[in-house]
Amino acid sequence: MIEKNWAMAFANEWIAAFNSHDLERIFVLYDNDFEMTSPYIIERMGVKSGVLNGKDQVTPYWLPAIKAEPPLQFELLDLFVGVDTLVIYYKSVGRKMVCETFKFNPEGKVISGCSQHSVSLVTSRQIKQRKV
């Protein structure tokens, strides 16, 4: 089982790494041969499977996003811990809600990442206004 404190530290560093716009800082968190799955890979890269493998394939996918203006800025909203997976729920560009699911190798490096993007009309502001 993934330990909660480790999961929170990973999530905070993952958000900070992307917000730094430093690809090398981001890649420190990932195994060299990790698999990335995203609907944006289909849309932006033309890869029908939606899957890229390894840092060499992921670099041209992530680089335009981290160099974009206005700058990419993620906000951590929540974290879900499983036996061997971790899900980071965050606010992305344009107030879009995203879940990123991770699997790790024994050294704690990401071997698989999969993003799921909200299709609802609920914004982060509406979520914050809800009374739980």
pTM (2 d.p.): 0.88
pLDDT reading at 55 higher than 70: yes
Question: How many domains does the chain divide into?
Answer: 1
Q: In this predicted structure, what is the pLDDT of residue 120?
A: 72
**Which of 76-114 are b and which e, b meaning 16 or more Cβ less than 10 Å from the residue's Cβ?**
eeebeeeeeebbbbbbbeeeebbbbbbbbeeeebbbbbb
Strand partners, 124: none
Phi, psi dihedrals of residue 10, rounded to the nearest 5°: -60, -50
For 3-29, what is each residue's pLDDT tens digit?
999 999 999 999 999 999 999 999 999
The CATH number given to whatever domain includes residue 60 is 3.10.450.50
pLDDT reading at 129 higher than 70: no
pLDDT reading at 131 higher than 90: no
For 67-124, what is each residue's pLDDT tens digit?
988 888 999 999 999 999 999 999 998 778 999 999 999 999 999 999 999 887 555 5
Q: Which domain holds residue 122?
A: 4-129
